[in-house]
Amino acid sequence: MNFPIDHIGIAVKDLELASLPYQSLGFAVVGLDEFIESQQVTVRTFQAADSLLELLCPTSSESPIAIFLAKRGQGMHHIAFGVQSLEAEIARLEETGAQFVSNVPRAGRAGTRVVFLKPSWGQGVLMELVEHQT
């Protein structure tokens, strides 16, 4: 299997300040900022060639991003791979012993469905699988 990189998630404390380097590099903002209720986060997305950069800013101290920021500070949070069928990939990966944060798909940005794999399974990298709705 060879999955394309869908996006890279970057945890930030301030969307405006964190956007400046990406704007200076010439990356264009994609759409409007989006609030993801299940994660208590506001997402600002930049186009980066064939993938995206998502700046993730918590809207609550209970947000997983707020917890990440408190422990590790700002920086790369996760890498996301695009998949055709989330259910098929979950089943396939479970057979290999993959460990999920939760194997129940939930709503992501722009109508996507997502699941996360535990960083301990990914050798310290939080991985996300993303299925775009057609």
Tens digit of each residue's pLDDT (9 = 90 or more) over 40-90: 999 999 999 899 999 999 999 999 999 999 999 999 999 999 999 999 999
User: For 91-117, what is each residue's pLDDT tens digit?
Assistant: 999 999 999 999 999 999 899 999 999
Interacting residues of 53 by C-beta distance below 8 A, sequence separation 6+: 7, 8, 10, 22, 27, 45, 46
State pLDDT tens for residues 36-49. 998 999 999 999 98
Q: What are the helix and strand counts (H, E) for the chain?
A: 3, 8
> What is the band of 1 on the pLDDT scale with cuts at 50, 70, 90?
low
Q: Is the pLDDT of residue 24 over 70?
A: yes
**Cβ within 8 Å of residue 47, ≥6 positions away:** 27, 28, 30
- The residue-averaged pLDDT of 7-17 equals 97
CATH 3.90.1750.10 fits 5-131, yes or no: no
Euclidean distance between CA atoms 89 and 86, whole angstroms: 5
Q: Check residue 133 and give its pLDDT.
A: 86
Domain ranges across the chain = 5-131
Mean pLDDT, the chain, rounded, equals: 95
Handedness of CA 16, 19, 21, 24 (dihedral sign): negative
47-79 burial string, b = 16+ CB within 10 Å, else e?
Answer: ebeebbbbbbbbeeeebbbbebbeeeebeebbb
The reply to whether the predicted model has a pTM over 0.85 is yes
